[in-house]
Amino acid sequence: MDFEFLEGCEAIAEAAVRAGCRFFAGYPITPQTEVPEYMSRRMPEVGGIFLQGESEIAAINMVYGAGASGVYAMTSSSSIGIALKTEGISYLAAARIPAVILNFQRGGPGIGNITASQSDYWQCVKGPGSGGHRCMVFSPSTIQECVDIMGMAFEKAFRDRNPVFVLLDGSIGNIKEPVKLPDMKPVPDKDAFDWCLSGCEGRAPRQLLPILPEDPSKFAEHATEMYARWQKEDVLVAEDLPDDAEVIVTAYGTAGRIAGACVKRLRKEGLKIGMIRPLTVSPFPIASFRKLDAGSTRLIIDVEMAKPAQMVEDVRLAVNGRIRVEALEIPGGIIPTDEDVYEGITGIIKGVNENGA
């Protein structure tokens, strides 16, 4: 059989290995401990290294070292664990060292709970560390999408020499779905990276330091250009936009799959409804919202497992006041049922119809 039946955490970890990941440093935290567990067994099989740090901060700094040497390196954590890692992530961005970071969001703030949540959109998209840097952030909805994205996550991280997030949650990590894994790719040749610390015998030494050069504008200009290029070249989005759509639903990750099933049901019931499901939330699919015809589309409903909603701010910026935007907010730490989202969306539409714009 060409499909395997795997848990999200396992499938994602295996997809990383097949993409060429040969260094993993982590620290246990629910709901992602299955990732380090899998890597502890798998890394030695492929000649890679697994390390459990003494803390999240230790793990991200181990990734800093591995990435600096030109190895596809990854770490994984959840919400509060990512908060601890942000110091190291900021260092990676400043030193221009690539890495992939998985964030299995759980309910928060504080220790919160161990259930799925989308309360850390801001954390990954807006503030992945001090100093105002950005990371590319992938936002898959199904295990298959996660697996398909892993190769790309490493490629973009190394192309840009910048840390990349895959924004997940406790649900996608713990469900099982049939998945088609990618083929095993060869490990990239370090010599292809003219910046990495691979031993300087016979060449000038290199440095990768998390400090700004003498002229700070150099880093800022490079980074700003990079972020602008992402917006032009790297947006991934699943659009389901019928010409006559009056209502557009938008959601990412687990909320995206639930809202997607709900949109299909509502369309069967005769509603003129479409969907914009970002697969990258940084860069955000601005163009998908800009091209909506305000003459036919009168309402956008953003569905998030976060209250107050977070991505909705980027939706509003993209729409720029042309179309009404409402949010269906499910508090982080609760996985809504299909019925919850159906009732929420139909409730918002009913409210807007009754009270007008």
Partner 1 sequence: MEHKILIAGFGGQGVLLMGQLLCYGAFAERKKVLMLPSYGGQQRGGTSNCTVIISDEDIGSPSVRHYDTIVAMNEPSYKLFRKSLKSGGHILVNSSLVKVTRAMDENAVSVPISELSREAGSEKTANIVMLGALAAECGMVGKAFVQEAVKQLLGRKKPDMLGCNLDALDAGYSVIEKTHGKE
175 binds partner 1 (CB under 8 A): yes
When binding is defined by CB under 8 A, the residue of 57, 83, 114, 271 that contacts partner 1 is: 114
- 247-250 β-sheet, strand order: 237-240, 273-278, 247-250, 299-304, 324-329
Q: Judged by CB under 8 A, which of 57, 87, 340, 346 binds partner 1?
A: 340
Q: How far is the CB of 220 from partner 1 (least distance, A)?
A: 43
Q: Which long-range contacts (CB under 8 A, 24 or more apart) does 256-262 make?
A: 256/139, 256/141, 256/303, 257/141, 257/142, 258/303, 258/336, 258/338, 258/341, 259/303, 259/341, 259/345, 260/141, 261/338, 262/338, 262/341, 262/342, 262/345
Q: Using the rule CB under 8 A, is 347 a contact of partner 1? A: no
Using rule CB under 8 A, residue 5 touches partner 1: yes
CB nearer to partner 1: pick between 228 and 261 = 261
Contact with partner 1 (CB under 8 A): which of 3, 220, 287, 308?
A: 3
| CA angle (42 as vertex; 40, 48 as ends), nearest 5 | 85
- Which residues are paired to 169 by β-bridges? 105
Q: Choose between 41 and 176: whose C-beta lies nearer to partner 1.
A: 176
Cβ proximity to partner 1, 251 vs 318, nearer residue: 251
Non-local (6+) Cβ contacts of 59 within 8 A are 25, 26, 27, 51, 52, 53, 75, 77, 85
Sole window of 88-96, 196-204, 319-327, 332-340 interacting with partner 1 (rule: CB under 8 A): 332-340
Size of site (CB under 8 A) for partner 1: 26
Q: Which of 20, 107, 129, 260 binds partner 1 (CB under 8 A)?
A: 260
Residue bearing tokens 């980027």: 314
**The one among 117, 174, 250, 288 contacting partner 1 by CB under 8 A:** 174
> What is the binding site for partner 1 (CB under 8 A)?
1, 3, 5, 30, 114, 171, 174-178, 254, 257-262, 264, 335-341
